[in-house]
């Protein structure tokens, strides 16, 4: 069922943020900052934009999602559980040694995961392969690739971007989670990729810059991407790292650590 009401989007996104906190707290490790910043984008994709069916997760005609910034796996697991790919209870096993829900998603262990993530920078290359396969097989599925803004400091991203444009992959949509922070601080200070939109434009992409927490802007951007022909699309989503948790917002220190009990309780209170 496709959701179109912003209030419903907000309710789902809030639940996903609660689940992210539950996962990272119970796993005693993880990456809450970048998972929280991408929660609204994933909500829009899975509950409005993507052609998917949790009862048939391997349907060859389904749309694909590549979470290239795989350390934000808690967000992907939360949205998959909310969509019905597996039970929410399984989220509490996040990052446990015998859990299917590893720190980086494993497509061989989790229904609904289309790419096993690991080292940063590889996702766009994989997404290109999926999109090219769709063209060759004359399928009309679309491929969505979520990249971190720190991740695009990787050279492989730009080699892949050149390939995306060369093969005119209009069935490919890149989303850059532009929260401006990576593990070492502001991306502009570590290794600035700005202006991100102009860089993708120079590589032959249709580029859009949006508020990554505004559902109207998110949905509209994906609709424009669907209508764009002859070139791939890159959506630069301006987001807030740690979005929704006051003490995590815009704090690089919350890139990769779990809250303690007091912080966990405060986070859940803020999301009620």
pLDDT beyond 80 at 263 = yes
The secondary structure of residue 254, as a DSSP letter, is G
Q: Inform me whether the pLDDT recorded for 1 exceeds 80.
A: no
What pLDDT, on the 0 to 100 scale, is given for residue 35? 98
Q: Is the pLDDT of residue 118 over 90?
A: no
Contact 41, 237 (CB under 8 A): yes
Is the sign of the CA dihedral 208, 213, 216, 219 positive or negative?
Answer: positive
> What is the chain's mean pLDDT, rounded?
97
Is residue 272's pLDDT more than 90? no
pLDDT in tens, 213-253: 999 999 999 999 999 999 999 999 999 999 999 999 999 99
| pLDDT tier, 15 (very low <50, low <70, confident <90, very high otherwise) | very high
Tens-digit pLDDT profile for residues 23-47: 999 999 999 999 999 999 999 999 9
- The domains located in the chain, with CATH, are 6-271 (3.40.50.970)
Spell out the residues 6+ positions from residue 17 whose beta carbon is closer than 8 angstroms to its own. Answer: 36, 39, 78, 243, 244, 245, 271
């Amino acid at each position: 069922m496709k959701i179109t009401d912003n209030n419903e989007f907000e309710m789902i996104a809030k639940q996903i943020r609660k689940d992210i906190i539950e996962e990272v707290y119970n796993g005693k490790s993880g990456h809450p900052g970048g998972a929280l910043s991408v929660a609204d984008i994933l909500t829009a994709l899975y509950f409005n934009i993507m052609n998917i069916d949790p009862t048939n997760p391997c349907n060859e005609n389904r749309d694909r999602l590549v979470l290239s910034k795989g350390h934000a796996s808690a967000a992907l697991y939360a949205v998959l559980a909310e969509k019905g790919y597996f039970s929410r209870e399984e989220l509490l096993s996040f990052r446990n040694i015998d859990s299917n829900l590893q720190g980086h998603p494993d497509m061989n262990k989790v229904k609904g995961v289309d790419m096993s993530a690991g080292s940063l920078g590889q996702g766009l290359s994989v997404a290109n392969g999926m999109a090219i396969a769709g063209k060759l097989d004359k399928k009309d599925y679309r491929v969505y690739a979520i990249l971190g803004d720190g991740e695009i400091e990787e050279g492989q991203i730009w080699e892949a971007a050149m390939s995306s444009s060369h093969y005119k992959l209009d069935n490919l949509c890149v989303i850059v989670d532009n929260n401006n922070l990576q593990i070492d601080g502001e991306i502009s200070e570590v290794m600035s990729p700005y202006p991100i939109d102009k860089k993708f434009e120079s590589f032959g992409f249709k580029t859009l810059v949006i508020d990554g927490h505004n559902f109207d802007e998110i949905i509209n951007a994906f609709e424009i991407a669907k209508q764009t022909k002859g070139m791939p699309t890159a959506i630069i989503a301006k987001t807030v790292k740690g979005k929704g948790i006051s003490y995590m917002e815009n704090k690089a220190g919350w890139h990769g650590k779990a809250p303690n009990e007091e912080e966990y309780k405060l986070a859940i209170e803020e999301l009620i």
